[in-house]
Chain A
Amino acid sequence: MEETNMDDCEQNRESEVAPALIAVHPTHQSVAVAVGSNLRVFNLQEGCSVSLVDDSGVHMHKDSIRAIRYGAEGKLFVSAGDDKLVKIWLTDSWCCISSVSSEKRVSAVAVSNDGRFVSFADKFGVIYAVEIEAFHENQSLPNKKAVPILAHYCSIITSLEFSPDGRYIISADRDFKIRVSVFPEKPSDGAHEIQSFCLGHAEFVSCLAFICSKDSQQRYLLSGGGDSTVRLWDFTCGSLLDTCHIGPETGLSQSKGVDDSLLAVTDLCATRGGSLIAVAIQSLAGVMLLSCNLSARSLHFARVVPVPGETFIPTSIAAAYSSNQLWMVMGASTLCASDSAPLARVKVVDGFCESNQDSVEHEMRVLEDKDIRGGEQLLQTLQGSSSIEKDALATAAEAVKTAMCNLLIKKQYPSENREFRKRGRNDKKVNKKK
């Protein structure tokens, strides 16, 4: 028994590892990186690091940040995580206008497209909404109470999104469900009407992204999961349009003997028209590109863009629609330098834009550190250090992998173990007598 207890402790500690996150302002004005409890923002327009001002009267994040997000218009920024605080920031002054406290740890956040509501989800599957009003007056709001609007039954919410037209709120969970709920006009009354469930993933769902076709106003949903697939959905009716198995394309089963049916998709990022989709995959160095043909409603593997000169496994990726740059970060909360600021590595890929169906080879390249807008100062701000040793990165990759496994993958106990634990039960005793 002692042995199993020790195992549990170890796993608990590992699951505390939080992967580094990245978010880009929709018009490319700033970039934010969260690693551990540190939130770092760099102003791309002025080329300087941003100092965060917290007027809300509540402390900064004290535990790992699990979700960061810009609002669709770029006026708001939200950060939240294990310290059960949802902090809402104004991006012009970078002051925190509100700190909403949650009862449980927060696992996902979203901002409604009109910027009126911030929504967040906790680890027990409950999704809350907070109304934001009069934020333009640049004064801090009273610390508001969030209203629960819907819930997945005790399942960790891994991703939360408002649909581009604002009609739906979409939540993905660890029990392979994606729920599409009608976002009500008065969220305080709850989001009771379910439009559809997108069911097809055989493992946890880790990330969601929207794409809209250029000609029609039709919108589609993309999801990535622990079953090594990226799936394309018509989310209004919950029908699965196509599935792309990314496992074999990584080449990891041949080169490293990794079971490629269990490579989790960690993040997704699509161009607005959806013709090109960047996919971050657990254990895959570089970023995978998929192409999407919306008229044929199909997804295809395009290629892997490697990062030359280092082992870079992105933990989070993001892009601004106005730029052709894909931002990637790799890091974990446990990866610390000697002065204990957690480290992260930032990389930028240039040429992330709609692909022309005819041109086969799409020009995309990973920028050298010196070519990144903001240069060394940006890296100093976002990474915690302008240069990072390679060894440190390798340990980060491992830490992120275990964090993901422990948090989202369901533990499988052999049936003998389960029977052993039931040995003292009365109904079992009756059986033994026979």
Chain B
Amino acid sequence: MLEHEVSNPTHNKKTGLPRKRFYRARAHSNPLSDSHFPIPISPAEVDYSLHYPEMVKVDGSKKIQFADVGCGFGGLLIALAPLFPDTLMVGMELRDKVTEYVKERILGLRTTNPGQYQNVSVVRTNSMKYIPNYFGKGQLKKMFFLFPDPHFKEKNHRRRVISPFLLDEYAYVLAVGGIIYTITDVEELGEWMKSCLEEHPLFEALTTEELETDQVVKLLSTATEEGQKVARNDGQTFRAVYRRIATH
């Protein structure tokens, strides 16, 4: 695939990266509808050597540790990749065109920066339905939920990606000590996410000192496209960062 890119009109000729205007998609996707894309039956079914050809040998002993749920155009993943070069990370996105964009973007970055970005990949999936199909118990170290769809109407609250019931599943795939990062520019959603996490018995908030020393926290508002947009408009962001704790 890579050799075709030079003449690919959807890619920038200089950088080899995909151009966003060819990957426009709707801002929203209904997570409740039946999925028409292939889903792995269990985590063991996924061949990650296809996603990380240089990092994962076929035996699959190395596992994904970071998941960016609803990764959008992949800004955070691209920023995280050089910071944690030995950690496998995956973006999960429901919109097919956006997933395609991220895929091309990663491939482009891998060609222009040999040896780098080998630890990032993306899958098209509905993480609200299928997260246990991708990760085993306690597999993840970090999960990211950046600028999720706010779903203002009360009748649509069950479509929110952070909800009391879905947190059970996130707690299942997170290792004890693993961290869940959420951020939004919508105050109402920020409060909702914070209260869901606060009330969940398997999560505790990070202290202010911990937030300051965590290098990833700064990226939440600066690395993603949404975050940059908010910053341009001098908007406010609302953050909730919690740790998975053991059961009592």
**Residue interface mask A144-176, B partner, CB < 8 A = 1:** 000010110111000000000000000000011
A148, A189, A418, A427 — most chain B CB neighbours (10 Å): A427
CA distance A199 to B165 in the complex (A): 19
Name the CB-closest residue of A to B168. A192
Check: B36 CB closer than 8 A to any chain A CB. yes
CA distance A189 to B164 in the complex (A): 11
Interfacial chain A residues near B25, Cβ < 8 Å: 427
Q: Please tell me if the beta carbons of B166 and A153 are within 8 angstroms of each other in the complex.
A: yes
Check: A394 CB closer than 8 A to any chain B CB. no
CA distance A415 to B96 in the complex (A): 14
Q: Please tell me if the beta carbons of B201 and A192 are within 8 angstroms of each other in the complex.
A: yes
Interfacial chain A residues near B31, Cβ < 8 Å: 153
Q: How far is the CB of B98 from chain A (nearest CB, A)?
A: 10
Interface of B is mostly: helix
Q: How far is the CB of A197 from chain B (nearest CB, A)?
A: 4
Q: Please tell me if the beta carbons of B36 and A150 are within 8 angstroms of each other in the complex.
A: no
CA distance A154 to B126 in the complex (A): 12
Q: Please tell me if the beta carbons of A193 and B247 are within 8 angstroms of each other in the complex.
A: yes
A194-B168, A196-B137, A200-B41 given as contacts; is B247 within 8 A of A427 (CB)?
no
Q: Please tell me if the beta carbons of A199 and B132 are within 8 angstroms of each other in the complex.
A: yes
A155, A179, A192, A200 — most chain B CB neighbours (10 Å): A192
Check: A136 CB closer than 8 A to any chain B CB. no
Check: B172 CB closer than 8 A to any chain A CB. yes
Q: How far is the CB of A204 from chain B (nearest CB, A)?
A: 12
**Residue interface mask A198-217, B partner, CB < 8 A = 1:** 01111000000000000000
Check: A126 CB closer than 8 A to any chain B CB. yes
Name the CB-closest residue of B to A194. B172
How many chain A residues touch B (Cβ–Cβ < 8 Å)?
37
A153-B128, A154-B158, A192-B201 given as contacts; is B24 within 8 A of A410 (CB)?
no
**Residue interface mask B181-194, A partner, CB < 8 A = 1:** 00000000000000
Q: Please tell me if the beta carbons of B200 and A192 are within 8 angstroms of each other in the complex.
A: yes
Interfacial chain B residues near A430, Cβ < 8 Å: 21, 24
**Residue interface mask A208-241, B partner, CB < 8 A = 1:** 0000000000000000000000000000001000
Name the CB-closest residue of A to B126. A153
**Residue interface mask B29-41, A partner, CB < 8 A = 1:** 0011010100001
CA distance A179 to B132 in the complex (A): 10
A175-B129, A189-B201, A418-B36 given as contacts; is B165 within 8 A of A153 (CB)?
yes
> CB within 8 A of A177: which of B132, B166, B167, B201?
B132
Check: A59 CB closer than 8 A to any chain B CB. no
Q: Please tell me if the beta carbons of A150 and B158 are within 8 angstroms of each other in the complex.
A: no
Check: B63 CB closer than 8 A to any chain A CB. no
Check: B204 CB closer than 8 A to any chain A CB. no
Name the CB-closest residue of B to A151. B165
CA distance A425 to B26 in the complex (A): 8
Name the CB-closest residue of B to A240. B42
List 18 A–B pairs whose Cβ atoms lie within 8 Å, in order of A's numbering. Answer: A153-B31, A154-B32, A154-B129, A154-B158, A175-B129, A176-B41, A189-B201, A191-B168, A192-B200, A192-B202, A193-B171, A193-B202, A194-B172, A197-B132, A199-B132, A200-B42, A415-B36, A430-B24
A194-B169, A200-B41 given; name 18 further pairs at CB < 8 Å.
A126-B165, A148-B165, A150-B165, A153-B129, A153-B169, A154-B32, A175-B130, A177-B132, A182-B247, A191-B168, A193-B171, A193-B202, A196-B137, A200-B42, A411-B34, A415-B36, A430-B21, A430-B24
